[in-house]
Amino acid sequence: MSINFYEIHLQTDNVNEVQKYLAYWLNGLYREKPEIKSNQQAEIDFFQKEYPSCFAVGSLHKNWVTIRHDSYEQQVSLANKLSQVFSATAIQAMGQSTVDTYYLSVHQNGKIVRKFYSGEDVEKPEQEGKPFSFEQPFPDSEDYQYDYEDMQSFCKNFGIDLLTDAFEHQNIWTLINIKEKPIPEQRSFSEKIKSFFGRADRQ
């Protein structure tokens, strides 16, 4: 079974205000009013875009709002902004077990205060910021790799279970997304030639 994380957890119970802010954020990014649907499933295509175009927002854990998104990039500026706007801790979790790449960051007052990263592009796990009191040092072993179990253990100290199956919680999600624009139908070369000569005959 593959493990995939693509979410931000915000320490607040004000789900409606979070939804409003994310709709405002998407509107500012795409210059287009997003579509909002309540009582949905958390079915979104993850790891699809550089910038999120879709959010699934719901309450999976007490006093936390979970925000799932469709981006493959770390959303540092968004997590920073959420922590600042709501005066709350934001935890960003991204990871994919099939490529052994994991990222976890804690944001407070509009900045990152703790960060972990492990992936194929680094020789050993990286970390930044002051450790929390509950943390244990990384094992002193060359074979050690930071993974989803470390992320899970860390987040449980905040009351967040990263391995909760979102699909077991049906119809609790609000989907906020920018509608995909249809791809214009391409005319064949012969149709373009006919159109060209048709215009020439009318002249």
pLDDT digits (tens, 9 = 90+) for 123-174: 889 999 999 999 999 988 888 889 999 999 999 999 999 998 877 777 889 9
Of the pLDDT bands very low, low, confident and very high (cuts 50, 70, 90), residue 39 is confident
pLDDT in tens, 58-97: 999 999 999 999 998 999 999 999 999 999 999 999 999 8
Q: How far apart are CA 130 and CA 145, in angstroms?
A: 20
pTM of the model: 0.85
- Average pLDDT of every residue of the chain: 88
Q: How far apart are CA 95 and CA 105, in angstroms?
A: 12
User: What's the pLDDT score for residue 195?
Assistant: 56
Spatial CB neighbours of 106, under 8 Å, sequence gap ≥ 6 = 89, 90, 91, 112, 113, 114, 115, 129
Share of the chain above pLDDT 90, in %: 65
Among 1-10, 23-32, 40-49, top mean pLDDT goes to 23-32
Q: Give the DSSP H or E segment for 183.
A: none
Tokens of 127: 């970390």
